[in-house]
Amino acid sequence: MPTSYNFNPFPREWCGMRRRFLFETSMGLGTAACASLLNLSGARAESSGSDSRFLTKPPRAKRVIHLFMSGAPSQMDLFDHKPVLQEMNGQEIPKSIIGSQRLTTMTSGQASFPVAGSHFRFDRCGDSGLEVSELLPHTAKIVDRLAVIRSMSTDPINHDPAVTFLQTGSSITGRPCLGSWLSYGLGSENSNLPDFIVLTSSGGPGGQPLLTKYWHSGFLPGKHQGVQFRSQGNAVLGLNDPPGISRNERRQTIQTVNNLNRIKFAATGDPEIEARMNAYELAFQMQTSVPELMEIQGEPEHILKMYGAVPGESSFAGNCLIARRMVERGVRFVQLFDKDWDHHANLPVNLRKQTQRTDQACAALVLDLEQRGLLEDTLVIWGGEFGRTAYCQGSLTSETYGRDHHPRCFTMWLAGAGIKPGTVLGKTDDFSYNIVEDPVHVHDLQATILHCLGIDHERLTYRYLGRDFRLTDVGGKVVNAILS
């Protein structure tokens, strides 16, 4: 056993890095604050602007607002009117309609599958004559600005894989989501805010959980990950300066840390180090941009009333107004997740509550974007991860019914840049159970969204583990019928 040690706790390469760091930062700390005003970090600056490799034409849309109704709204109670359901209410759904389709374990063991007719009246609205449920009086007034797809379909039959599939193009966790792909393919329009921001709201304590993987960048560099903002209190936790630390001292700290990171990045080329540098710089800029962004109390009273938003109150309406403020400032992709649309029981009561919370704000967002000249280059999307069954889950009574998951057909709508207004695409059978005309798969929707942004979905790829991945996997075709 040796009697003496020559132990250095720092590897030799670290000692060299320390000498380089001290030399390179000796002149930089005093001017760091000034430099930050003149230029953002190279890592973020390089991400600005579109990548021409992915573009097919000048984009109609520059940004996207996705209104995601988590849990799956019932299409036959909102947009896909089926009088046959009322006529056959309580009768067994024909076996020929279900065929050999798989059912969830929540209803596959039922002895009976009674048809559940909608409790809600439908009216033809606008010049397009689109039939809309009485639950959506505000959306009914803007139908001539929408393209409604009644023939959406997806692959998974349960919530988490279906949400993952809609967001990433795969039901397997670990792929980049749509917002991350857009950040990667199009870059930034605003150096003071993230390219991709997420806001969440809820109608109550229940609902499917909203997992952070739904806005994760997957194998793309971390700088493309969605950033969740809170609509009440501090929008981003940890963003404020610690007590006793001035803004100039914070700037110097960030500059010092990033100088070390640059040295390590030069030695290793690790993209996560670059992402970390970018995150530090962006967080510093957000300290001034975020508080102003979230202060909706500065909006005119008629705008607050239009949305139904109350300053200081966390709500879907407030999030819609904040989303408009975000796209005004150049945020590329804003995603609003609203919980509690999963109505396996007591649907007539629960669905009404959800639409009362959201309908006014959805319509207001479209109208507000339009009056500000933003709708012409902003794409708005509304919908959930799949649809609901025509038959009742559990007991059917004259007062209530519930509906199970149904991936075979559901409804979504789009509005704004590149979309043909007043369009209705697709047709389902008399039970809103099977698509009979113009099917649109989730991969087709993803391809169409990218197309509106000027991106060829087959070109937007990223090489990982020896394979070129893309949002639409190996499928997807642009839905030209809804494009202007």
Q: For 158-194, how does the pLDDT look when each residue is reduced to its tens digit (9 = 90+)?
A: 999 999 999 999 999 999 999 999 999 998 888 889 9
Instruction: Output the pLDDT for position 231.
Output: 73
Range with the lowest mean pLDDT among 110-119, 229-238, 267-276, 343-352? 229-238
Q: How confident is the model at residue 277 (pLDDT cuts 50, 70, 90)?
A: confident
SS3 per residue for the chain? CCCCCCCCCCCHHHHHHHHHHHHHHCCCHHHHHHHHHHCCCHHHHCCCCCCCCCECCCCCCCEEEEEEECCCCCHHHCCCCCHHHHHCCCCECCHHHHCCCCCCCCCCCCCCCEECCCCCCEEEECCCCEEEECCCHHHHCCHHHEEEEEEEECCCCCHHHHHHHHHHCCCCCCCCCHHHHHHHHHCCCCCCCCCEEEEEEECCCCCCCCCHHHHCCCCCCHHHCCEEECCCCCCCCCCCCCCCCCHHHHHHHHHHHHHHHHHHHHHHCCHHHHHHHHHHHHHHHHHHHHHHHHCHHHCCHHHHHHHCCCCCCCCHHHHHHHHHHHHHCCCCEEEEEEECCCCCCCHHHHHHHHHHHHHHHHHHHHHHHHHCCCHHHEEEEEECCCEECCECCCCCCCCCCCCCEECCCEEEEEEECCECCCEEECEECCCCCCEEECCEEHHHHHHHHHHHCCECCCCCEEEECCEEEECCCCCCCCCHHHEC
Is a pLDDT exceeding 80 seen at residue 30?
Answer: no
* pLDDT tens-digit series, residues 291-304: 889 999 999 999 99
Give me the percent of the chain exceeding a pLDDT of 70. Answer: 88
Q: How confident is the model at residue 238 (pLDDT cuts 50, 70, 90)?
A: low
Is a pLDDT exceeding 70 seen at residue 27?
Answer: no
Q: How confident is the model at residue 18 (pLDDT cuts 50, 70, 90)?
A: very low
Mean per-residue pLDDT of the chain: 88
Is a pLDDT exceeding 90 seen at residue 385?
Answer: yes
Where is pLDDT greater, at 20 or 408? 408
Instruction: Output the pLDDT for position 34.
Output: 34
* pLDDT tens-digit series, residues 432-450: 999 999 999 999 999 999 9
